[in-house]
Amino acid sequence: MSVSIDLKGKKAIVFGIANDKSIAWHIAKKLDEAGCRIGASYQARTEQWSVPLMKELHNPVYAQCDVVDDALLDSFFKKMKDELGEVDFLIHSIAFAKREHLQGKFMNVDRRGYQVAHEVSAYSLAELSRRVAPMMRNNGAIIAMTYLGSEKAVPGYNIMGVAKAALESSVRYLAYDLGDRQIRVNAISAGPIATLAASGIANFGEMLLNYIAKAPLKRNITADEVADCALFLCSDLSKAITGQVIYVDAGYSIMGT
Ligand SMILES: NC(=O)c1ccc[n+]([C@@H]2O[C@H](COP(=O)([O-])OP(=O)(O)OC[C@H]3O[C@@H](n4cnc5c(N)ncnc54)[C@H](O)[C@@H]3O)[C@@H](O)[C@H]2O)c1
């Protein structure tokens, strides 16, 4: 049996397209192919790679945004409201921590580093959900991206693991907040994928090799496979799933060694 997902008439706001390796880009492409109109944000520092990609989508709306800048958030959401009206989906595929806090010992993180990682990687999900909720149609979906380092100590992942724990907990509270409107909030816990963000993690190469050695499927995963899961979570096929962390990790997270 083949099931094709039709998102014609739907609209999504996507955060996190830096370049063609970004998980957010793979999700945006997949939603676009299913007929969903994309509103996307990009950071000033990635403009030269992000903007040419947007032009590959059908009738996109895009603007610069940064989740730590209230004025940019205001202008971004005004543009989305003016051009898209109502939306159905929010994709939160962003994270940031200082490079020096993604190596060595976790206890060496300083107060500011801890704050920055949480503000960008976790708090922003609540902020973006609050801003998008008034524009969202009932039966919509919000999806965030997380990693196993939220629940296990993964050497090098450090402060990002702590921020991802906050993100996953936020997913559960937001699922409760928005459940009465049949808006579902879930996270995808992806295995390691070589992206710009991943390049900041000291032990990243080792993480990739570990998955090939230990995951039941004996391989790494692709951003396209993560996007397939996002497509499912945006569709009616997942209409009773909310507040969950869904693993797209070749099964690595079930292993005890
Ligand atoms: N690559 C992996 O191995 C992996 C695994 C599991 C989860 N994730 C998560 O997937 C998500 C996407 O990361 P990616 O791997 O595609 O890397 P990426 O570098 O392509 O994407 C990260 C995005 O975050 C954006 N960003 C950072 N700070 C921001 C800010 N202040 N305001 C707005 N945007 C900001 C960047 O512009 C970029 O687009 C992240 O949440 C990451 O933690 C990645």
pLDDT for residue 150: 98
CA atoms within 13 A on the CB side of 154: 28
Would you say residue 1 lies in a domain? Answer: no
Would you say residue 77 lies in a domain? Answer: yes
pTM here? 0.98
| Residues lower than pLDDT 50 in the chain | none
- How many Å lie between the centroid of ligand 1 and the Cα of residue 164? 12
Would you say residue 74 lies in a domain? Answer: yes
Atom number of ligand 1 nearest to Cα 198: 1
Count of domains observed in the chain: 1
99-111 per-residue burial string, b: 16 or more CB within 10 A, e: under 16: eebbeeebeebee
pLDDT for residue 1: 54
Would you say residue 4 lies in a domain? Answer: no
Q: How confident is the model over 78-116, as pLDDT tens digits? A: 999 999 999 999 999 999 999 999 999 999 999 999 999
Would you say residue 35 lies in a domain? Answer: yes
- How many Å lie between the centroid of ligand 1 and the Cα of residue 2? 32
| Enclosing domain of residue 217 | 11-250
50 lines ligand 1 (CB under 6 A): no
Would you say residue 3 lies in a domain? Answer: no
pLDDT for residue 201: 85
How would you class 257 by CB atoms within 10 Å of its CB: exposed for 0-12, middle for 13-18, buried for 19 or more?
exposed
pLDDT for residue 56: 97
Q: Catalytic positions, please?
A: 147, 157
CATH number at residue 167: 3.40.50.720
